[in-house]
Chains A and B, each alone.
Chain A
């Protein structure tokens, strides 16, 4: 389910503003997520006999949303390239050079992911969410209100995508279709780690980054995607449910 949801979630992430707007875009995306859940996904889960069908249908709904949002973005902002100069000065750390914005993005994304993992692991809300993912019926039986929790999770997912969108805008060019390349990477990362395993996703992301960077360093930039897919296929050959599946 997560995979299919991330599909369009990422594409929605074209938020365009510097640091101050990170929480704003997160909040906006959260509200948007709840709205989407109420209008579309509640009905979708009601009409789907099982999870497989639900995944397939949300994939298609995702394409639909993609059509709508990208074109709405074109209508609103015009089909131009956008971008801004933000914290581009270089920082030196023992011989390693970063630009401030990349470092900031790194720190913030680690922070957010960490917060998410800790939140899911240690708070009551987190436990409830994990419980719901593992056994929706069981969760309902022990008194978890899945009707509130579902939209909440959904909104949170979109909010995080909003955050990554606004973080990316600090480094790269902004255009309506900027999210598309991340979609595939995100899907690979998630499956690499194992669906439904947050820590797995994080480690999967880091691994993929390492494979790509070292691969490019030792071979050729043109082979980057080839390498990441090769790694992905190899992993799935031997661990068909991802690296960290339980």
Chain B
């Protein structure tokens, strides 16, 4: 990285870190929401962006993390609870990876999507027959600022993971699978292991995010945490931003999050229609993601930004 970029990034991280002390509650919780989707989209793009396997299992990882959190909250310190969420999601990804990664394209997408529904119903059934109830209360939730810092750390971890994987042999292997799996395999690459490793890594962050975010809702039940909308939005954010660059998903989350909130607060009844139109428009006319436009004038914008900053 160039020195200027490094400084800007460092400054930004600091600013974001002290946000709970300076920003209004709403700005904080909006940033939190954007950060959540940035983390999810980065994880998604790390595997799906490189391999072209459209994995729709983010909701499943998220929900599992949330449930782990509901069970462990109070009995373990907060960072361990979040880590446990990540671990449980990793386990699921491992089992899932062993069984479904031989599928391709739409088959893979639908099956991974189904896993979330499957888990939702499984947990509902187990809770109902074992405990005679559904859902769990989350008592002793940390304050908003702690949740915010946790998610912020998770975004940084997701970005670091994306960056590290992208530069590692694994990243190269995943990209090779994306461009031509058959050829990669013929050239002696163990595609199965590479895919499983990539898939498992992509599950870590969503699990942790699920654990960190769900405490905001006091009470969770399978219908809320295994919500297909979470994965829809993650894929949208990553695709709008452009999944092949590190800043693509972050940019996507930022633009989408701000736009959605702006439209929601100002065009009460029409905002989803507008959002839909914008979405279609961006798919049709910005096929490579927002990152493709911004990269063109990146130099100029950066210059302007830094002069403003100074």
Contact = CB atoms under 8 A, between A and B. Distances in A.
Q: Do A and B touch directly, given a CB cutoff of 8 Å in the complex?
A: yes
A205 to B, nearest CB: 15
Contact of B275 (A40, A67, A229): A67
Interface in A208-222: 220, 222
Contacts of B99: 233, 237
B284 A43 contact: yes
Interface in A44-64: 44, 47-48, 52, 55-57, 59-61, 63-64
Interface stretch (B13-21, B65-73, B116-124, B157-165): B116-124
Interface in A1-53: 3-4, 40, 43-44, 47-48, 52
A71 B270 contact: yes
A234 to B, nearest CB: 10
A87 interface: no
A237 B103 CA distance: 8
A59 B239 CA distance: 11
A204 to B, nearest CB: 12
A231 to B, nearest CB: 11
Contacts of A184: 113-114, 117
A116 interface: no
B106 A195 contact: yes
Interface residues of B, number: 40
A233 B117 CA distance: 12
B279 A229 contact: no
Contacts of B278: 64
A240 B125 CA distance: 28
B287 interface: yes
A40 B284 contact: yes
A63 B104 CA distance: 22
A235 B83 CA distance: 34
B102 A222 contact: no
Given A4-B106, A47-B284, A229-B118, A64 B276 contact: yes
B42 interface: no
Contacts of B109: 59
Contacts of A52: 52, 105
A232 B236 contact: no
Contacts of A72: 273
A226 B279 contact: no
Contact of B107 (A61, A75, A191, A222): A191
Given A47-B287, A236-B100, A71 B107 contact: no
A120 interface: no
Contacts, number: 118
Given A67-B276, A68-B276, A71-B270, A187 B110 contact: yes
Contacts of B280: 40, 61, 64-65
Nearest to B280: A64
A174 to B, nearest CB: 19
Contact of B279 (A48, A64, A188, A237): A64
A44 B284 contact: yes
Contact of B106 (A3, A226, A233): A3
B114 A232 contact: yes
A146 to B, nearest CB: 20
B125 A223 contact: yes
B121 to A, nearest CB: 5
A61 B240 CA distance: 11
B301 interface: no
Nearest to B125: A222
A241 interface: yes
B6 interface: no
Contact of A63 (B115, B232, B269): B232
Contacts of B239: 56-57, 60
B289 to A, nearest CB: 11
B125 A60 contact: no
Contacts of B88: none
Contact of B114 (A61, A74, A222, A229): A229
B113 to A, nearest CB: 7
Given A43-B284, A60-B283, A65-B280, 13 more contacts: A55-B54, A59-B235, A64-B280, A64-B283, A67-B276, A68-B272, A223-B125, A225-B118, A232-B114, A233-B111, A236-B103, A236-B107, A240-B103
24 contacts: A3-B106, A44-B283, A47-B284, A52-B105, A59-B235, A61-B283, A61-B284, A63-B276, A64-B279, A65-B276, A67-B276, A67-B279, A68-B273, A71-B272, A72-B273, A222-B121, A225-B117, A226-B125, A229-B121, A233-B111, A236-B100, A236-B111, A240-B102, A240-B107
Interface of A: 3-4, 40, 43-44, 47-48, 52, 55-57, 59-61, 63-68, 70-72, 74-75, 184, 187-188, 191, 195, 220, 222-223, 225-226, 229-230, 232-233, 236-237, 240-242
- The 10 lowest CB-CB distance pairs between A and B, nearest first, are A67-B276, A64-B279, A68-B276, A64-B280, A64-B276, A229-B118, A71-B272, A3-B106, A67-B272, A225-B121
